[in-house]
Chain A
Amino acid sequence: MARKYTLCLTHQCNLRCAYCYIDKRAGRMPIEVAERIVESIFASSASGEEIDIGFFGGEPLLEFNLLTKIVDLIESHPGYERSAVTLSVVTNGTIFSDDIADFLREHGIVLCVSCDGPPQVQDRFRKYRNGRASSAKALKTIGIALKRLPLVMVNSVYRPETLDDLPGSVAFLSALGVRQIYLNPDVTAPWRAEDAAKLPGIYGSIGDAYVRAHLEDDPHFVSILDSKIAVLLRGGYQRSERCQMGSREIAFSAEGAIYPCERLIGDGRGGPHCVGNIRDGLAPQQEGRFCTDPAAGATSPCSGCGIREYCMNWCGCSNFLSTGRYDRMSPFLCASERAAVTTALRVYERLESIRPGIFSDHLAGKPSLLSRVERRERRSHEETPGFNACPGH
């Protein structure tokens, strides 16, 4: 059960994506704040405990020098164990260089680029402050990263306006060489029943492409399918897989304000979700405050649902951003989860009938970042001259 920490290095960003949940303003994390956070992270973790530390923003690569200093703080801490700590950075992909790639590679930092798909999709909502399109730079970064880094994740956000483009966006990213694709709806968008009705067909189309890729021995990780296949084999989400916002999952604004999840940081200066500040230490958070189980109440529509154990209705931030309550799921997310579970089951049945055991690793593995074995494997590859990409790229 990994602890997850997100550090908002800056609240500034060169883009103005329509659906970003972080308010843009001047504000950079002082190194003293970073020192306190790093100290607190190791102080509250047992030796060998898995820790995921993510660098976030704003655009974190605007503060690349600060990022390198914080990585140094982490790696030089007496409590640091390389096999237990996973570092990642989430970027909009418009700021990248050979130096950044070398640093990420040298320190085993996972790169996650936010990119919604081909230019006509990406440029609809991900624009510079002056309204200029961002696709050229983002796509160039993905291309370079795929050549130079062992693991590149791409996070695609879709809205009602781009929902029909989703299978095409997955195909586009696949053609670029991306093999780790995360699909997320903009939960704040004005989703309608008509959009929800399209989901089985759209996810089904992605499922067909996923099956074809497997049969061509070129498997892709597609979040809505792989995570659900894991869950269906395990008979539901395990306790450690569920949202633990405010307890084992903590986010810090640039000033050190503490939040239960990075999606609830807002302007980072306090606000209704703020649970403290790192200058006062990382006290046990107010877990009860973030009760996120809509199925808990007997009168909840989720309580009698047949697939509630397979559903992410516990995602407190998605619930809050879409309904204003941590424990109330939106109709669109309900439809999305139903469609994802159904599609994953059909994909599972098709592929398992052709290649039995193909998904056995989903029973043991975890659909997020890297397992310990993979981290070791990756490091051994990094130490091998000439290695420059994931197998299968």
Chain B
Amino acid sequence: MNVLASQDLLNRIIWIRGIPPVDFWIRREGMIGEFVQKNKLKPIDTAPFEIEAIAGAVEAREEKAALPLRRPPFPGGMRSPHLHFRGAVYALNEQQWRAFSGGVVKDLNERLAKASVLSFDQMRDVAEGIDKFA
């Protein structure tokens, strides 16, 4: 079989080459795949979103969005909650978005409690040490 004849594979190659720009979706593929499966999400057709982006037709997007859209200035792609998994796009409703993103807040609060502090005194000691040897 000509591998490029497979649309899925082609999408995936395009995906890995950097469209869209972040590698989050690839590095967290396992976790995202699990979420998609657990919530029985179905991929959506993204072509209308691309056309809308070109035309700037925000109203048309709002009808399709599960949650309110956010306008620029943040540079991003489709402005409604969604996940990317293996070249396909999965839209999320409010409950699903909360489930997906909720963990990050809890996790970061815990991490902040363990944040280190670089002390100014320590830095001064290092600088003085360097001066001594210079």
CA distance A305 to B68 in the complex (A): 36
Residues in chain A near residue B56, CB distance under 8 A: 377, 380-381
A344 to B96 CA separation, bound complex (whole angstroms): 22
Q: Indicate which residue in B111, B118, B122, B130 contacts A306 across the interface (CB closer than 8 Å).
A: B111
Q: Which of A2, A179, A240, A357 contacts B97 (CB 8 A)?
A: A357
Give the distance in Å from the alpha carbon of A310 to the alpha carbon of B110 in the complex: 13
Is A364 on the interface with B (CB-CB < 8 A)? yes
In the bound complex, what is the Cα–Cα distance between A325 and B118 (angstroms)?
15
Chain A residues contacting B68 (CB-CB under 8 Å) are: 355, 357-358
B73 touches which of A307, A363, A372, A392 (Cβ 8 Å)? A392
Mark interface residues in A22-49 (1 if CB within 8 Å of B CB, else 0).
0000000000000000000000000011
Do the beta carbons of B54 and A345 come within 8 Å of each other? Answer: no
Contact A364/B109 with A49-B18, A240-B23, A391-B71 known, Cβ cut-off 8 Å: no
- Set B18, B97, B117: member contacting A335, Cβ < 8 A: B117
Complex Cα gap A355–B21 (Å): 25
What is the minimal beta-carbon distance from B51 to any residue of chain A, in angstroms? 11
How many residue pairs link A and B with beta carbons under 8 A? The number is: 194
Contact B23–A1 (Cβ < 8 Å): yes
> Is A364's CB under 8 angstroms from B78's CB?
yes
Is A221 on the interface with B (CB-CB < 8 A)? yes
B25 to chain A, nearest CB (A): 8
Choice from A226, A341, A371 contacting B108 with Cβ under 8 Å: A341
B residues lining the A interface (CB < 8 Å): 17-24, 27-28, 50, 53-56, 66-68, 70-82, 84, 92, 94, 97-98, 101, 104-105, 107-120, 122-123, 130
Residues of A whose CB lies within 8 Å of any CB of B are 1-2, 48-50, 179-180, 192-193, 196, 219-221, 226, 232-235, 238-241, 301-302, 304-308, 310, 323-324, 329-332, 334-335, 338, 341-342, 345, 348-349, 352, 355-374, 376-377, 380-381, 390-392
User: Please, could you name 20 A-B residue pairs with CB atoms under 8 Å apart, sorted by A?
Assistant: A1-B23, A180-B73, A235-B24, A235-B28, A240-B18, A307-B115, A329-B118, A331-B118, A334-B117, A335-B117, A342-B112, A359-B101, A360-B70, A362-B74, A362-B76, A367-B74, A368-B75, A371-B21, A390-B73, A392-B72
